[in-house]
Amino acid sequence: MGHIRLGKLPRTRRWAEVVDLLGLGAGSAAVAAATLDAAEADLRGAPEDPAVLHAFWLLTQLPDAARSSDFAGALRDIGVQVESAPTVAELGAALTRAIDRHALQQRNMSDLGEMAQLAVVQSLTGLLQARVPTLFGTTPDDVRSEVAKLATGKQFGMLAKEFFAGFSQRFLTYYTSRELPSHVGRGRAFPELTDHEAFNQALDIHCQQASRIVETFAGTWYSKSRYEKTLTPERMAGFVGYALGKMRRELRRGG
Q: Supply the pLDDT for residue 121.
A: 96
Closest to 114 measured CA to CA, from 50, 59, 41: 50
Assess contact for 114 and 128: CB atoms under 8 A.
Answer: no
Compute CA 123 distance to the chain's CA centroid, rounded to the nearest angstrom. 7
pLDDT digits (tens, 9 = 90+) for 175-207: 777 766 676 777 766 777 777 678 778 878 888
Q: Which long-range contacts (CB under 8 A, 24 or more apart) does 138-146 make?
A: 138/87, 138/88, 139/87, 140/71, 140/84, 140/85, 140/86, 140/87, 141/85, 143/85, 143/86, 143/87, 143/88, 143/91, 144/66, 144/71, 144/85, 145/66
Q: Supply the pLDDT for residue 6.
A: 41
Q: Supply the pLDDT for residue 4.
A: 47
Q: For a pLDDT cut of 70, what percent of the chain falls above it? A: 83
Distance in angstroms (rounded) separating the CA atoms of residues 114 and 5: 11
Distance in angstroms (rounded) separating the CA atoms of residues 235 and 191: 47
Q: Tell me which of 110 and 57 has the higher pLDDT.
A: 57
Q: Tell me which of 36 and 93 has the higher pLDDT.
A: 93
14-18, 123-127, 171-175 — which is least confidently predicted?
14-18
DSSP-assigned states of every residue in 113-144: HHHHHHHHHHHHHHHHHHHS--GGG--HHHHH
Closest to 79 measured CA to CA, from 103, 56, 95, 60: 95
70-79, 91-100, 182-191 — which is least confidently predicted?
182-191
Closest to 53 measured CA to CA, from 243, 201, 235: 235
Compute CA 106 distance to the chain's CA centroid, rounded to the nearest angstrom. 20
Q: Supply the pLDDT for residue 212.
A: 94
Q: Supply the pLDDT for residue 23.
A: 65
Compute CA 14 distance to the chain's CA centroid, rounded to the nearest angstrom. 25
Compute CA 73 distance to the chain's CA centroid, rounded to the nearest angstrom. 26
Distance in angstroms (rounded) separating the CA atoms of residues 73 and 13: 52
Question: What is this structure's pTM?
Answer: 0.86
pLDDT digits (tens, 9 = 90+) for 106-141: 777 688 999 999 999 999 999 998 888 765 667 889
**With 50 as the cut, is the pLDDT of residue 156 above it?**
yes
DSSP, res 46: G
Distance in angstroms (rounded) separating the CA atoms of residues 217 and 195: 35
32-36, 95-99, 111-115, 237-241 — which is least confidently predicted?
32-36
Q: Supply the pLDDT for residue 2.
A: 44
- pLDDT-derived band at 3, boundaries 50, 70, 90: very low
Sign of the dihedral defined by the CA atoms of residues 54, 171, 193, 29, in that order = negative
The mean pLDDT of 44-62, rounded to a whole number, is 93
Q: For residue 104, what are the contacts with CB-CB under 8 A and spacing of at least 6?
A: none
**With 80 as the cut, is the pLDDT of residue 20 above it?**
no
**With 70 as the cut, is the pLDDT of residue 7 above it?**
no
Q: Supply the pLDDT for residue 234.
A: 86
